[in-house]
Amino acid sequence: MSDKTYASEVMVPPDETQETNPEKKPEKKSETHLEISMASDIKDGIKDVSPILFAIVPFAAVFGAVAIESGLSFGETMLTSLSIYAAASQYVMIDLMGQNVPVWSIVLAVFAVNFRHVLYSASIGRTMGAFSTLQKALAFFLLVDPQFASSESRAAKSGLRPAYYFAYAAMIYSTWIAANCVGALFGSLIDSPATYGLDFILPLYFTGLVAGFHKRPNFVPVLAISASVSLLAWFTIGSPWHITLGGIAGLITAAALSKPVKHKMEEETANA
């Protein structure tokens, strides 16, 4: 028997499990890492949203009470909150309905109040690379003021992922709906949030979030111009246009002061 023949006879076929095991192990490790990352994102989302839930509860409850007093049924009140899900717009709608304003005026006012969400979507959409098309659609529906501010902050620090975003959003949405329900049922027992100073919590929260962006390029001029235009609009045109115009002024300023990536790289190369 030749060496060649002997080798072919004793040669053991490669074990398929040995070939596939090296591939499976990293896969398993990757899946475990993904699960840990997702759990961490969910935990962070709940932790970050917790402070503002205390401010949302009274405002949501008061809306439920006001809506019932304005003539809406319990079902209409809940449907409004479930579908519109925009506190300022819902308050404006209820107020105008009580003044017998034409429907087209109510729609226009709600659009004016909510126009800032168009700006929010354009900005936050740049950071949603990890989101599917369906996830983006749902995320934009759930995009309210604190959600936007916190998501922008998260994206700048460690990247924005669906687990964080939807954990944060689910807490706000469920709290808003639950408090609406309580207000609609027991509205007569609820005082104004301003009585307890709770109306100051949200502005304070947003101030802290804005301050968190102070390391970004051109932070001071963008903030100064945006705030100035907003104040000017407040004293001339009035609410709610000051929010939209201030936001647009900030975006235009940021765009005007920003440098294209190619130009920035050329400058850095020249300086080096």
For 160-199, how does the pLDDT look when each residue is reduced to its tens digit (9 = 90+)?
999 999 999 999 999 999 999 998 888 766 666 556 555 5
**pLDDT digit string (tens) for 63-117?**
888 888 878 889 999 998 998 888 877 877 887 777 676 777 777 777 777 777 8
19 and 110 both lie in a single domain: yes
Out of 213, 235, 258, a domain closes at 213
209 and 98 both lie in a single domain: yes
**Mean pLDDT score across all residues of the chain:** 77
106 and 226 both lie in a single domain: no
Q: How many domains does the chain have?
A: 2
Mean pLDDT to the nearest integer, 231-259: 79
Q: Which two tokens stand for residue 95?
A: 């107020």
14 and 140 both lie in a single domain: yes
Confidence at residue 35, expressed as pLDDT on a 0 to 100 scale: 67
Which runs of E-coded beta strand occur in 54-190? Answer: none
Distance between CA atoms of residues 86 and 181, nearest Å: 16
26 and 135 both lie in a single domain: yes
Predicted confidence band at 250 (pLDDT cuts at 50, 70, 90)? confident
Report cis status (omega within 30 of 0) of the bond before 58.
no
Confidence at residue 12, expressed as pLDDT on a 0 to 100 scale: 46
85 and 185 both lie in a single domain: yes
Confidence at residue 9, expressed as pLDDT on a 0 to 100 scale: 44
Per the structure, the complete domain to which residue 155 belongs is given by 2-213
Confidence at residue 123, expressed as pLDDT on a 0 to 100 scale: 86
Confidence at residue 180, expressed as pLDDT on a 0 to 100 scale: 92
Torsion angle, alpha carbons of 113, 119, 123, 125, to 10:
80
DSSP letter string over 204-245? HHHHHHHHTTTTSTTHHHHHHHHHHHHHHHHHHT-TTHHHHH
104 and 222 both lie in a single domain: no
234 and 106 both lie in a single domain: no
65 and 196 both lie in a single domain: yes
Percentage of the chain exceeding pLDDT 70: 70
Residues 6+ apart with CB under 8 A from 164: 41, 42, 44, 45, 151, 154
Whether residue 10 has pLDDT greater than 60:
no
120 and 184 both lie in a single domain: yes
